[in-house]
Amino acid sequence: MKILTVSDHESKYIWDYFDRERFKDIDLVISCGDLKPKYLSFLVTMIHVPLIYVHGNHDDRYERTPPEGCMSIEDQLYIHNGVRILGLGGSYRYNDGKNQYTEDAMLRRVKKLRKQLRKHNGFDILVTHSPAYGLGDGEDLPHRGFNCFNDLLDQYKPSYYIHGHQHLNYNRQQKRITQHNETTIVNAYEYYIFNYMHNRYAYDAKKNRKGYLASLRGNDFY
Ligand SMILES: [Zn+2]
Q: For the segment 75-126, what is each residue's pLDDT rounded down to a tens digit?
A: 999 999 999 999 999 999 999 999 999 999 999 999 999 999 999 999 999 9
Mean pLDDT of 5-11: 96
Neighbours of 188 (CB within 10 A): 25
213, pLDDT greater than 60: no
Q: Is 15 helix (H, G, I), strand (E, B) or coil?
A: helix
Mean pLDDT of 183-208: 93
Residue at 215: amino acid letter = S
Distance in angstroms (rounded) separating the CA atoms of residues 59 and 15: 19
Lowest-pLDDT range of 10-19, 51-60, 128-137, 190-199: 10-19
Distance in angstroms (rounded) separating the CA atoms of residues 1 and 24: 12
C-alpha 145 – ligand 1 centre gap (Å):
11
210, pLDDT greater than 60: no
Neighbours of 186 (CB within 10 A): 25
Residue at 172: amino acid letter = R
160, pLDDT greater than 90: yes
Distance in angstroms (rounded) separating the CA atoms of residues 43 and 22: 13
For 210, counting Cβ atoms within 10 Å of its Cβ (0-12 exposed, 13-18 middle, 19+ buried), the class is: exposed
C-alpha 139 – ligand 1 centre gap (Å):
14
What distance lies between CA 61 and its chain's CA centroid? 19
Task: Phi first, then psi: give them for residue 78, nearest 5 degrees.
Answer: -100, 130
C-alpha 142 – ligand 1 centre gap (Å):
8
C-alpha 105 – ligand 1 centre gap (Å):
17
C-alpha 20 – ligand 1 centre gap (Å):
28
The total number of residues shown for the chain amounts to 222
Domains and CATH numbers, the chain: 2-217 (3.60.21.10)
Distance in angstroms (rounded) separating the CA atoms of residues 7 and 10: 8
Q: Report the Cα–Cα distance between both ends of the chain, in Å, rounded.
A: 38
C-alpha 57 – ligand 1 centre gap (Å):
5
The answer to whether the predicted template modeling score (pTM) of the entire model surpasses 0.95 is no
For 97, counting Cβ atoms within 10 Å of its Cβ (0-12 exposed, 13-18 middle, 19+ buried), the class is: middle
205, pLDDT greater than 90: no
* pLDDT value of position 13: 86
3-state helix, strand, coil in the chain (%, to 5): 30, 25, 45
